[in-house]
Amino acid sequence: MDIQFPRLDTRAQSDLVAQVYSKIASGQRISREEGIHLFDVEDLTTLGLLADAVRWKHHPEKEVSYIIDRNINYTNVCTADCKFCAFYRRPGDAEGYTLDKETIGKKIQETLDLGGTRILLQGGHNPELKIEWYEEMFRWIKSTYSIILHALSPSEIITISKVSRISVPEVISRLKAAGLDSIPGGGAEILSDRVRAIIAPGKTSSAEWLGVMEEAHKLGLKTTATMMFGHVETVAERVDHMILCRELQDKTGGFYNFIPWTFHRGNTELDFVLLPEREKTSAFEYLKTVAISRIMVDNIPTIQSSWVTQGLKVAQISLRFGANDFGSLMIEENVVSATGLQYNMTLKKMTKAIKTAGFTPVQRNW
Ligand code: SF4
């Protein structure tokens, strides 16, 4: 097998880089302090090389996965008031909506017709929707279409539990029985209650987000973990976020994908009120954070790149900074595009980017 574990002349490197490289080579874990100091390394290509070493350990095959799915935002009605969100409408707003079965069904059929295998069903914290609405919708979807149902981030699950007055484990097991296949890790933002109090005070606490994921993993559901960075967090808080995910993964093994992506300025309260002077997160900072994610989160098998927030070229480069998955072709996306950011992606462009980076594109359905 062609394993491309990168070689590094550690004599030419700082003590920190040499130490991290030798730990990776011998399978040792990188500490919190080392992770924080890695953010001080200005030699980006060396960080990429360290991340690549971890990547090849997980994925000795020369492949990059991707999925064709559709992001269906079933409701934009939300009470969470996240300051970075340009998508939601408060209950009672004339622009609020909840999709009916016919509309959702039409979107699923279009997804299948385009070669899609999964739908990502996510929405706001809608106080009108109880567990029965979701159970009926999920049963109908799964009995009508042959599609993977990846749905409801932890904060939506907690909202359903509150609105329906039942426990989180009950919500998850009932939804699983109704056809839920896996849970997206959206809403993790940065798992620091200091950060969450500033950017998303109406959303789950860090412990609640992790608690829902733990319950889901215990009940046999696989989930992803996201990290939205480049707003009010410190690099130490990014590293803590990575370590919290790593610790839960040690316990449950239920995360299959770690997805770092950048906060995008545009149309949101956060950029106008909280961050008037903050620069847009650069490609350099994005690639550095992807690389450090791969190095730190050594037990989640896949790191996903983010063409949605970074564009095709930077996403392609991230394949040499620890990412081994290109994410979704995303037939429909409303939340990031509501900030004004939009990249047009086609299957041809995506697979060409993967191939020209030296990998074989492989479509996944999980
Ligand atoms: S990000 Fe989600 S939870 Fe937050 S306001 Fe927007 S729709 Fe609501």
Confidence (pTM): 0.92
**3-class secondary structure, 101:** helix
**3-class secondary structure, 77:** strand
**DSSP one-letter string for 154-200:** HHHHHHHHHHHT--HHHHHHHHHHHT--EE--TT-SSS-HHHHHHH-
Is 124 near ligand 1, meaning CB less than 6 Å away? yes
Could you tell me what percent of the chain has a pLDDT over 70?
92
Measured in angstroms, how far is the CA atom of residue 186 from the centroid of ligand 1?
A: 10
Residues 250, 11: contact at Cβ < 8 Å? no
Q: Which residues pair with 69 in a beta bridge?
A: 118
In 44-139, at which residue ranges do the beta strands (DSSP E only) sit? 63-67, 69-73, 118-122
At 317, list the tokens. Answer: 């480069």
Q: What is the pLDDT of residues 91-137, one digit of tens each?
A: 999 999 999 999 999 999 999 998 999 999 999 999 999 999 999 99
**Among 302, 300, 182, CA closest to 250:** 300
- Name the residue with tokens 């730190």: 296
Q: Which residues pair with 67 in a beta bridge?
A: 328
Residues 268, 84: contact at Cβ < 8 Å? yes
At 268, list the tokens. Answer: 């949101």
Stated as kind and residue range, the H or E segment containing 16 is helix 15-25
Q: Which residues make Cβ contacts (< 8 Å) with residue 186, sequence separation at least 6?
A: 122, 153, 226
Please give the Cα distance from 107 to 273 (Å, whole number). 36
Per-residue confidence band for 175, with pLDDT thresholds at 50, 70 and 90: very high
Q: Where are the domains of the chain?
A: 17-363
At 157, list the tokens. Answer: 């699950």
Predicted confidence at residue 114, as pLDDT, reads 87
Measured in angstroms, how far is the CA atom of residue 60 from the centroid of ligand 1?
A: 38
**Residue of minimum CA distance from atom 1 in ligand 1:** 85
Predicted confidence at residue 20, as pLDDT, reads 95
Ligand 1 atom closest to Cα of residue 84 = 1
At 35, list the tokens. Answer: 């992770």
CATH classification (class only), 17-363: alpha beta
Per-residue confidence band for 3, with pLDDT thresholds at 50, 70 and 90: very low
Is 255 near ligand 1, meaning CB less than 6 Å away? no
Measured in angstroms, how far is the CA atom of residue 88 from the centroid of ligand 1?
A: 6
At 230, list the tokens. Answer: 């480049």
Burial of 56 by CB count in 10 Å (0-12 exposed, 13-18 middle, 19+ buried)? middle
Could you tell me what percent of the chain has a pLDDT over 90?
81
Neighbours of 133 (CB within 10 A): 17
Measured in angstroms, how far is the CA atom of residue 81 from the centroid of ligand 1?
A: 6
